[in-house]
Amino acid sequence: MNQFSVDLTNCDKEPIHIPGKIQAHGFLIAVHKNDFHITYVSENINYFLSKQASGLLDQPLSALDHLLTQQEPEFNIEDLLKLGIIRKNFDAINPHPINIDKKPYYITISESENNWLIEFEPVTLQYDIQGIIGRSASAMLQGRSVSSLLKGAALEVKKLINYDRVMIYKFLNDGHGEVVAEEKNDELEPFFGLHYPASDIPKQARELYKLNLTRLIADVNEQDSDILTYLTDQPLDLTKSNLRAVSPIHIQYLKNMGVYSSFSISLISHGELWGLIACHNYSPKFIDYKAREGAKLIGQILSSALEYRQDEEDSEMVEQFKSTAAILSEYLSQDKYLIDALTDHQRNILSITNATGAAIIFEKRLKTIGQVPVDEDILELAEWLKTSNDESIYYTHRLSEIHSPAKKYKDIASGILACNISKDLGEMIIWFKPELITTINWAGNPDKEVVLSENGLLNLSPRKSFEAWSEVVSNTSEKWMAEEIASVLRIREIIITDVNKKANEIRLLNEKLQSAYEELDTFSYTISHDLRTPLTSIKTYAELMLKNKSLDDHAIKMLSRILIGADKMNFLIKEILNLARVGRSEINFETIDMPSLIQEIKSEVWAAFKADKSELILGHLPNIKGDRTMIAQVFTNLMSNGVKYSLMVEKPVIEISAYIEGGETVYAIKDNGIGIDNRYYDRVFELFKRMDNVKEIEGTGVGLAIVKRVVERHHGRVWFESKLNAGSTFYVAFKNLQ
């Protein structure tokens, strides 16, 4: 007897393979493998063989022969069993026909741990089914698409077993099932498209579906027959039995649906249970063994056809992804910019997955393709990914549940698949999939299956109501397939190899550039140095000549011009020497007392430009670490420019202050002078470049080039903000060294 009671804590553990009973339309005996003595027998055997079941226990199998030979003189059941054992396979003898009381029966033999199971069931089919199955199989295989294949299979199974309803039920990723094809009598309401919660078919039942490919429940109201045994505490394993009794929970479940008889055929793909062909009849109906075998064959043919079609579709997709990756790899080697190589062509990074949009963030640029959220949202998402995810790849099909800001663009991007190119730099590619608002039509409310039993315990009860109950599933995109993830990893590898290759090329170029710079510095240094001596001579001789009293005005004028020119040249040479020095000299890091440095520079600069009317406002001036001489040069140049380019305004004001942020000390040197036209933003720091609005003002165009070089050698940054005729602010940021 099955003592097992099911509640919420153990429902998945209900031992449905050892129910201790069989369905009563047939009978069963089991014999021990060692001595062929009868170990188990179903109580209903007396109904079929007029022999008390208990009297057979522990008897040799030949005891049964005696009963059977009354019907079939030639028959010896032990010989039949031995034949199967010798062949190591019972397929050839199953089913073996026999008459009992002039009625035809089939004997089927299977294995159960230490026993052989011998089952007897009635024969009801009076014609040969082979031909029908052959025709059914070829009709079914005419379907080219997966859905027509499924529909064809349902139709053929319905023809074969003539049940009221035949459904093909597919298990989805989370274990719940969907009716994907259906053939039914016209008067029945359709179940096509309905979903069933995973708990409707518990785990251990699925395992049995894998081991025993067909399952008949001939009549839910039929009283089961107990299995008797003298072996205590050793229930008979009925995994492979045809007659195994049904779990009371499942019987109740079928009754709730009004089903009297059910038959299912397992569909296996790649060793896993893909789904079931589930057949329902609204009156009791027994299916003959051969018809069941025929249906099983159709199931097997369908399984392999499904496997083949699915593989075919998958491999087409993988081929497409792979060929795109190869093409992109080619573009990467041809195109100068990585982003353009990945997005500018007809085959682009969008084609390596089934995404509908993609974004690349690389070298501080963002480029998108297809359907994507707005730039700010993508950048915010990228920042979140950077901080919250350490893996090289991240994906979800329910983004807004994990990252709430994504709610506002869930229609475009409920699914993301992101891969890092460089985690430190926050460089990455993100693919997007839109929200799929799906309506799941459950067969009854799946959440309402737990009820309180009379004794107050929580009992697992199959749903009583099977009226369709819709649930709208939002915030969810189509799932990312394993093939898409593999494809992204493939392209990531290609990109990283390319980035490294280009970085190496750039490093080599940099090294060359560095030595060219050094040569140029040496050259400018020598040239400037060598020019100074002849220039000093020119100046000295011109001054000597000027002392000559006999010179006329014209000569004096010319000599004065020579002197002015020589002074200008001298100044320029000094500036170039300064620039060359920045490149050549070692940096001696020290803490620089900024308030005193700035005061020193102020005196010099204000004297040089006679800038008494210019006001200097000083803010917070934190110390920085750097080479004092070089930093002095930076501030001299920036403060000189501030003063020089604001002298023409009525009340020139120069402001210097600093703030500390993100590991940097940032100095701002602000003036209210003539400003800079932003169109020339990039040119301001170039050597000898001067803007159009400063033609009347003395200058060489070297000062900011020196600033830039010093700052770069200190691994800092320099930039400015300016407005024409309103003033400029130059910023220099220095790293806060320990």
Residues of this chain that interact with ligand ADP (CB under 6 A) are 637, 641-642, 645, 671, 673-676, 684, 690-691, 694, 699-705, 728
Residue 618 CB, nearest approach to ligand ADP (Å):
17
Residue 647 CB, nearest approach to ligand ADP (Å):
11
Cβ–Cβ under 8 Å, residues 329 and 338:
no
Residue 690 CB, nearest approach to ligand ADP (Å):
3
Nearer to ligand ADP, 421 or 706 (CB): 706
Nearer to ligand ADP, 553 or 692 (CB): 692
Nearer to ligand ADP, 424 or 698 (CB): 698
Nearer to ligand ADP, 238 or 691 (CB): 691
Cβ–Cβ under 8 Å, residues 703 and 634:
no
Residue 611 CB, nearest approach to ligand ADP (Å):
13
Nearer to ligand ADP, 299 or 673 (CB): 673
What count of other Cβ atoms lies within 10 Å of the Cβ of residue 620? 11
Which are the contacts of 296, defined by CB distance < 8 A and separation ≥ 6? 213, 214, 265
Round to whole Å and give the CA distance between 61 and 83.
15
Question: Which run of H or of E encompasses 1?
Answer: none
Helix (H, G, I), strand (E, B) or coil at 166: strand
Nearer to ligand ADP, 632 or 674 (CB): 674
What count of other Cβ atoms lies within 10 Å of the Cβ of residue 302? 28
- Partners of residue 723 on adjacent β-strands: 727
Residue 668 CB, nearest approach to ligand ADP (Å):
12
Rounded to 5 degrees, φ, ψ at 605 are: -65, -45
Count the alpha carbons within 13 Å of 262 in the hemisphere toward its beta carbon: 20
Residue 705 CB, nearest approach to ligand ADP (Å):
6
Nearer to ligand ADP, 460 or 705 (CB): 705
Cβ–Cβ under 8 Å, residues 165 and 190:
no
Residue 500 CB, nearest approach to ligand ADP (Å):
37
Cα–Cα distance list, 291 to 88, 158, 281, 296, 300 (Å): 25, 11, 15, 8, 14
Residue 735 CB, nearest approach to ligand ADP (Å):
24
Round to whole Å and give the CA distance between 700 and 707.
14
Nearer to ligand ADP, 362 or 720 (CB): 720
Which are the contacts of 288, defined by CB distance < 8 A and separation ≥ 6? 123, 124, 125
Residue 573 CB, nearest approach to ligand ADP (Å):
14
Nearer to ligand ADP, 80 or 694 (CB): 694
Cβ–Cβ under 8 Å, residues 51 and 271:
no
Residue 700 CB, nearest approach to ligand ADP (Å):
5
Nearer to ligand ADP, 133 or 684 (CB): 684
What count of other Cβ atoms lies within 10 Å of the Cβ of residue 641? 23
Nearer to ligand ADP, 109 or 707 (CB): 707
Residue 572 CB, nearest approach to ligand ADP (Å):
10
Cα–Cα distance list, 331 to 366, 390, 492 (Å): 19, 29, 14
Cβ–Cβ under 8 Å, residues 475 and 435:
yes
Among candidates 375, 386, 364, which has minimal Cα distance to 412?
375
Nearer to ligand ADP, 157 or 654 (CB): 654
Residue 671 CB, nearest approach to ligand ADP (Å):
5
| Edge-to-edge strand ranges of the sheet holding 261-269 | 214-217, 261-269, 272-281, 165-171, 177-184, 194-196, 438-443, 468-473
Round to whole Å and give the CA distance between 278 and 282.
13
Nearer to ligand ADP, 382 or 630 (CB): 630
Round to whole Å and give the CA distance between 29 and 38.
7
Nearer to ligand ADP, 108 or 646 (CB): 646
Round to whole Å and give the CA distance between 556 and 559.
5
Cβ–Cβ under 8 Å, residues 367 and 343:
yes
Round to whole Å and give the CA distance between 691 and 701.
9
Residue 680 CB, nearest approach to ligand ADP (Å):
8
Residue 643 CB, nearest approach to ligand ADP (Å):
9
